[in-house]
Amino acid sequence: MAEDPRRFSIGYALAPKKQQSFIRESLINLARDRLIDLIKIDTGVPLIDQGPFDCILHKLYGDDWKKQLVDYKAKNPNVVILDAPESIERLHNRISMLQVVSELKFVRNDRDTFGIPKQIVIYDVETLQDHRSWEGLKFPVIAKPLVADGSAKSHKMSLVYNHGGLSNLKPPIVLQEFINHGGVIFKVYVVGEYVKCVKRKSLPDVSEEKLESLGGLVSFSQVSNLASNEMTDEKYYKMMHLDDCEMPPQEFITDIARGLREVMKLNLFNFDVIRDTRLGNRYLVIDINYFPGYAKMPAYESVMTDFFWNVVARREVTENEESEEKSELVDNIGC
């Protein structure tokens, strides 16, 4: 009688909102068909008392959770942690987040270039009010909280048009130069070696003439009203012809994604890219997020299942092959 095929267990520890959007029945069923069981980790019970798991998928923070992962790994050295907390933490700071872009050593493209917008971090009100400390930036600027931990507070951003708008900001914040980019943002999803780039609507361009007439500061939730007081958000973006917007070269984007993955040592992330309308072939990375909303990515279930399979099943096959090779080597030596 043939043995039942080996099944693999992936334990997931996610915040309720993330769990609801990501762990859908369609994903569970597809994974099950590939011999992968997605099992919810009970955060009310010590992790070390659960499992065993072949892989732990998580997006939880805090020293206690980090210690639990370390202890579990010590007891189960073959478990795969997606991803290492120390690698994720680099994305919790908007300055260190984008510094990784400068660490990329290669992108095989002679025509297109990439980088990040000019930005500075402001830690106190005194520095914020001292224009000399950040005179290298031009208005408008985007004001973002320094901490990017996924909380509602970390997502509160504003577009600042002049010095008057700065008085409404609360440090520590990052001021990032706003670059006109045609109202289109490219969101690049990375799942291991898989890279998918999609177009999304973004903030409308701001002309020099309009800049002089605008108020000091507008929250992102209000920016879509800037195009016209009488034009709805939907009509505005139809007017922009989003479907006609050219995508960045796939190989170019894939090279950036691969470089980021190697530098950050992360498997699950996305990054936002804009095209500088002043140059056309200049792309700027403006944000990087760990474990984003993958359910918004086309066919995310099959992409994630393939990735899970590569992580747990192919790895085991490789380990078995290496073990057999070592065994054969010992036998040959013994002969």
129 is in an annotated binding site: no
Name the residue among 187, 198, 206, 196 with its Cα closest to residue 277.
206
Which residues, listed in sequence order, are joined to residue 114 by a DSSP beta bridge? 283
272 is in an annotated binding site: yes
Give 304-309's long-range contacts (Cβ < 8 A, gap of 24+): 304/27, 304/31, 304/191, 305/27, 305/30, 305/31, 305/34, 305/36, 306/194, 307/191, 307/192, 307/194, 307/267, 308/8, 308/10, 308/31, 308/34, 308/36, 308/55, 309/34, 309/36
289 is in an annotated binding site: yes
187 is in an annotated binding site: yes
Burial 106-131, CB ≥16 within 10 A → b, else e? ebebeebebebbebbbbeeeeebeee
287 is in an annotated binding site: yes
163 is in an annotated binding site: no
177 is in an annotated binding site: yes
94 is in an annotated binding site: yes
Query: What element of type H or E holds 115?
Result: strand 113-115
**Residues 6+ away with beta carbon under 8 Å from 256:** 104, 107, 114, 188, 271, 273, 285
183 is in an annotated binding site: yes
Give the Cα separation of 40 and 57 in Å (integer).
10
213 is in an annotated binding site: no
Name the residue among 71, 36, 69 with its Cα closest to residue 54.
36
Q: What share of the chain is helix, strand, coil (3-state, %, to 5)?
A: 40, 25, 35
59 is in an annotated binding site: yes
178 is in an annotated binding site: yes
124 is in an annotated binding site: no
185 is in an annotated binding site: yes
Q: With contact defined as beta carbons under 8 Å apart, do 157 and 174 qualify?
A: no
179 is in an annotated binding site: yes
296 is in an annotated binding site: no
67 is in an annotated binding site: no
Give the Cα separation of 42 and 320 in Å (integer).
31
155 is in an annotated binding site: yes
Give the Cα separation of 64 and 167 in Å (integer).
38
116 is in an annotated binding site: no
Q: With contact defined as beta carbons under 8 Å apart, do 300 and 291 qualify?
A: no
Q: With contact defined as beta carbons under 8 Å apart, do 39 and 52 qualify?
A: no
202 is in an annotated binding site: yes
Instruction: Cite the annotated binding site for ATP by residue number.
Output: 94, 144, 176-187, 202
Instruction: Cite the annotated binding site for 1D-myo-inositol 1,3,4-trisphosphate by residue number.
Output: 18, 59, 155, 187, 289, 293
Instruction: Cite the annotated binding site by residue number.
Output: 18, 59, 94, 144, 155, 176-187, 202, 272, 287, 289, 293
Instruction: Cite the annotated binding site for Mg(2+) by residue number.
Output: 272, 287, 289
